[in-house]
Amino acid sequence: SPYQLLINDGNYYLLAYDSKKQDMRTFRLDRMKGVDILNEPREGEVAFSKIDLKTYTQRVFSMFGGEKKRVSLRFINPLLDTVVERFGTSADVFYRPDDDTHFVVSADVEISDQFYGWLCGFRKKAKIVSPPDVAADFQKFLDDIQGRYETE
């Protein structure tokens, strides 16, 4: 059941309700095949009403959803503009100085491999401060990648 067209990183997506999964999903328009118009009532009205479209693309990385969690991330100060561009400045995103060379942002994020991949791009310039389970899952993500490159 279609609800909203979105653009993210130059790609168009359809935000729609998936009745099999009983949840909202994003589908990349240029990869959709076999789309038919059905003369049936649209489903998922309650699920769609719970989505804040204003912040949806800020917390979902590359349109891959995951469990929504409040995370705090520590960055070096020169990355402030990049982080503001990603998370915005809405009332539910909080920025604070951490020391003379770092700041911390707290925002809602849908935890996914794409989020972890985005964070990897900053190397030692960023760190998950909280919650501890997200930091531990990120460590497992890194260990899995490292394991693929270990020599026998």
Q: Is 95 helix (H, G, I), strand (E, B) or coil?
A: strand
Half-sphere exposure of 11 (CA within 13 A, CB side): 16
Which residue, among 18, 100, 110, 101, has the nearest Cα to 63 in the 3D structure?
Answer: 110
DSSP letters for 61-91: BTTB--EEEEEEEEEEGGGHHHHHHHH---T
Q: Is 121 helix (H, G, I), strand (E, B) or coil?
A: coil
Place of tokens 């935000």: 15
- Could you tell me whether strands 102-111 and 126-130 are parallel, antiparallel, or unpaired per DSSP bridges? unpaired
pLDDT at 52 (0 to 100): 74
Run of H or E including 26: strand 23-28
pLDDT at 35 (0 to 100): 83
* Phi/psi of residue 70, nearest 5 degrees: -85, 120
pLDDT at 25 (0 to 100): 81
pLDDT tens digits for range 129-152? 999 999 999 999 999 999 888 876
Dihedral of CA 22/131/91/124: which sign?
negative
Helices (H), the chain: 45-49, 53-59, 80-87, 113-120, 132-147
Band of the pLDDT at 1, cuts 50, 70, 90?
confident
Mean pLDDT is lowest, of 11-20, 74-83, 104-113, for 11-20
This prediction has a pTM of 0.62
**CB-CB contact of 66 with 118 (8 Å):** no
8 pLDDT more than 80: no
Run of H or E including 108: strand 102-111
pLDDT tens digits for range 27-58? 878 888 888 888 888 888 888 887 777 666 66
